[in-house]
Amino acid sequence: MLDHSQLPRVKVLAVTPLYLPFLGGIEVFVDALAQKLSPLSIDTVVITDSGKNESYSDVVRGTAVHRFPMSRAIMSRNAKEPLTVLQSVGKVLADVKPDIVHLHSATQAGVFFMDRLIQRMPRRPPLVITQHAMLAEADELAVTRRLLKEADIVTGVSAAVLDCAVGYSGRSGRSEMIFNGISAPEQPQAPRTMPKRHNLLCVGRMQHEKGFDLAIEALALVRSKGVDADLSLIGGGDEQPLFDRLARKLAISEHVHFLGPMTNANARKVMAETSILLMPSRLREGFGLVAAEAAFAGTPCIASRTGGLPEVVQEGETGYLIEEEDVEALADTIVSLLGDEPRWYRLSENARQRAPARFDLDRCIARYAELYQSLTGGSA
């Protein structure tokens, strides 16, 4: 048995768009990586955006985090601001002396600063990029293309994302698909029975791209077919009033419940009492974290056939896929599934039983530990 305490510690500089206490898929995932890699003699230092006009450093759950106003500096259109941030990030890089730089997304403000700095280093540390989002070929993004091409290893959170990143950059180097790992719920989910009251759920930012308006329209159709169902929405965002107005216009506002932002633990409790999770996204979702969390909860999912969602939602096995914008197909699929309890149970059980293996956090972490090890000659 390898005694990791005897190994030289390896420093990974993780560059993320944001970090805790901001919560998003990347932030939660990098925190889990940092926590789980530390006992394996791998230390993570985070460089991220402060989301404010100021720079500051803190320690979050044992991880050193250096925050800079990277995005705002770029948006300032004043050359002095990105230069000042560049100098500050450079000081951290010089202090940390990372063995590996890991960019969590090649499309974030931090990419500009890291690109400038690592180009100036006499010996660039190995570069890993984990791509979380689909890229649009029409976007030039020269720095993103170049870094994706030159990185020592590129990983994608789904095959769709990885294929997109490889095609976009024309890279020929090592590339791997690693599904995002997800922590199992505190209490393992027992087999479910279909909730007596039909309740549908959407989770995410209240924005047009998530397609929650399509879910509301589908609910109206579902109810018009005589199926008594409600829809709850978890999350915050600027477009909630639009969704609220749509529900009122369709005369179903008493059946649409805006639950607001929630902790991840609470959101997952709600998922575990839900009939069907809906993800009628217009975004080319890279992975579909919420769909994976729903699978742990034994909740079938109906999602758009876009991005990485068809890999997370197994058609006819753990849920169904519909074409983007197809409200009628969404409504028909909901009605059909709610009217077939044995089928609902089969999907629920498939999702519940397969999720721990498909989205296992420890296995995901182990894959990253192996990647790091391969780049540091085995010391990680």
Kindly tell me which of 131 and 348 has the beta carbon lying closer to another protein: 131
Kindly tell me which of 144 and 180 has the beta carbon lying closer to another protein: 144
Kindly tell me which of 195 and 237 has the beta carbon lying closer to another protein: 237
Report the C-alpha gap between 19 and 27 in whole angstroms.
5
Question: Judged by CB under 8 A, does residue 58 bind another protein?
Answer: yes
Kindly tell me which of 224 and 266 has the beta carbon lying closer to another protein: 266
Burial class (CB in 10 A: 0-12, 13-18, 19+), 21: exposed
Cβ distance 287 to 132 under 8 Å?
yes
Query: Which candidate, 351, 325, 327, 347, places its Cα nearest to that of 337?
Result: 347
From candidates 234, 278, 331, 371, binder to another protein by CB under 8 A? 234
Question: Judged by CB under 8 A, does residue 55 bind another protein?
Answer: no
* Cis geometry, peptide bond prior to residue 17 (ω within 30 degrees of 0): no
Report the C-alpha gap between 309 and 337 in whole angstroms.
19
Other C-beta atoms lying within 10 Å of the C-beta of residue 95: 10
Question: Judged by CB under 8 A, does residue 142 bind another protein?
Answer: yes
> At its nearest, how many Å lie between another protein and the CB of residue 335?
27
Binders of another protein among residues 177 to 206 (CB under 8 A) are 203-205
Question: Judged by CB under 8 A, does residue 77 bind another protein?
Answer: yes
Question: Judged by CB under 8 A, does residue 242 bind another protein?
Answer: no
Burial class (CB in 10 A: 0-12, 13-18, 19+), 302: buried
Q: Which stretch binds another protein (CB under 8 A): 83-91, 269-277, 312-320, 342-350?
A: 83-91
Residue 279 phi, psi (nearest 5): -130, 70
Interface residue list for another protein (CB under 8 A): 17-18, 20-24, 49, 51, 58-61, 71, 74-75, 77-80, 82-84, 86-87, 105, 107-109, 111-112, 115-116, 119-120, 133, 135, 139-144, 203-205, 207, 234-238, 261-265, 267
